[in-house]
């Protein structure tokens, strides 16, 4: 199934609760929450208390993208705060298999993310163990960047690899996705679409509805 996961990094933090409620009402199935530690990526964004405060606002899937070093330290805390899907970066985990198992043991969904310059092949051994692969289509750290074209080929390669193994694993694409290139990333094989500035830069409800129409059209084709 094709789903939209608006990234709240581009939301108005002074009105975060009402903006999340709005995207939920408009039909977005996921809430993409970018957690940055100022070490793995240059920025510091939001963390546990914000997720805890948002939890009562929406029943949608809280899709927590951890851009932090050594994420094992915080798995329990993010699960308790309300994460439904916890994604760690392959580049940030020395023992990726153990980290993924720890997330799964907590009874939530586990995702693994790769930066643009990390090859899909780096995930070959872990593919059977994850619920989702997040392909970064920009260098992580900031919203509002342009999609790096070669990452589209990576999505194709990954979907091919999953198909050959008979896996229906979700592929999430994150960074620089707009209404102009969303068909391209879905054609390549992505089925969970993150969009930050393209949703929150303007009328949230109508932007979510426009994305959902495109996702539905692809679903039918």
Spatial distance between the Cα atoms of 82 and 31, rounded to a whole number of angstroms: 12
- List of residues 6+ apart from 28 with CB closer than 8 A: 3, 4, 5, 6, 60, 199, 208, 211, 212
Residues forming beta bridges with residue 33, ordered by sequence position: 64
Exposure of 83 in the CB half-sphere (CA atoms within 13 A): 30
Nearer residue to ligand DX5 within complex by CB, 108 or 142:
142
Using rule CB under 5 A, residue 65 touches Zn ion: yes
Residue number with the smallest Cβ distance to ligand DX5: 196
Of 34, 37, 63, 170, the catalytic one is 34
Among this protein's residues, is 187 annotated catalytic?
Answer: no
145 interface partner picked from Zn ion, ligand DX5, none, CB below 5 to 8 A per type: ligand DX5
Among 24, 63, 170, 174, the one annotated catalytic? 174
* Candidate residues 196, 207, 211, 215; the one interacting with ligand DX5 per rule CB under 6 A: 196
Characterize 171-184 residue by residue with b for buried, 16 or more Cβ atoms within 10 angstroms of its Cβ, and e for exposed. bbbbbbbbeebbee
CB-neighbour burial class of residue 218 (10 A; exposed 0-12, middle 13-18, buried 19+): middle
Pick the piece of the chain touching ligand DX5 (CB under 6 A) from 137-145, 162-170, 179-187, 202-210.
137-145
User: Shortest distance, CB of residue 55 to ligand DX5, whole angstroms?
Assistant: 19
Q: Are strands 61-67 and 132-136 parallel, antiparallel or unpaired?
A: unpaired
- Binding to Zn ion by residue 34, rule CB under 5 A? yes
- Let me know if 174 is a catalytic residue: yes
d(CA 99, CA 90): 10
Taking CB within 5 to 8 Å according to partner kind, which of ligand DX5, Zn ion, none is near residue 27? none
CA 33 to CA 5: how far, in whole Å?
A: 9
Residue 63 touches ligand DX5, criterion: CB under 6 A: no
Q: Does 174 bind Zn ion (CB under 5 A)?
A: yes
The single-letter DSSP state of residue 141 is: T
**CB closer to Zn ion, 24 vs 174:** 174
- Which of 13-21, 46-54, 75-83, 175-183 is the region at the interface with ligand DX5 (rule: CB under 6 A)? 175-183
Counting contacts by CB under 6 A, is residue 7 touching ligand DX5?
yes
For binding to ligand DX5 (CB under 6 A), which residues are involved?
A: 7, 9-10, 32, 34, 65, 138, 140-145, 174-177, 194-198
- Residues with a catalytic annotation lie at 34, 174
């Amino acid at each position: 199934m094709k789903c939209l996961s608006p990234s709240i990094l581009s939301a108005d933090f002074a009105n975060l609760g009402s903006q999340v409620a709005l995207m939920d009402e408009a039909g977005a199935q996921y809430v993409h929450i970018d957690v940055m530690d100022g070490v793995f990526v240059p920025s510091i964004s939001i963390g546990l208390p914000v997720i805890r405060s948002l939890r009562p606002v929406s029943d949608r899937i809280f899709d927590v993208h951890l851009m932090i070093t050594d994420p094992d330290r915080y798995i329990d805390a993010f699960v308790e705060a309300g994460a439904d899907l916890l994604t760690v970066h392959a580049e940030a985990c020395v023992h990726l298999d153990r980290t993924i198992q720890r997330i799964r043991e907590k009874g939530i969904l586990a995702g693994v993310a790769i930066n643009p310059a990390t090859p899909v092949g780096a995930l070959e051994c872990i593919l059977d163990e994850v619920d989702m692969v997040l392909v970064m289509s920009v260098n992580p750290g900031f919203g509002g960047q342009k999609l790096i074209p070669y990452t589209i080929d990576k999505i194709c390669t990954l979907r091919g690899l999953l198909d050959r193994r008979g896996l229906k694993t979700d592929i999430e694409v994150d960074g620089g996705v707009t209404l102009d290139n969303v068909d391209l990333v879905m054609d390549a094989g992505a089925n969970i679409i993150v969009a930050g500035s393209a949703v929150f830069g303007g009328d949230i409800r109508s932007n979510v509805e426009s994305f959902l129409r495109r996702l539905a059209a692809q679903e039918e084709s």
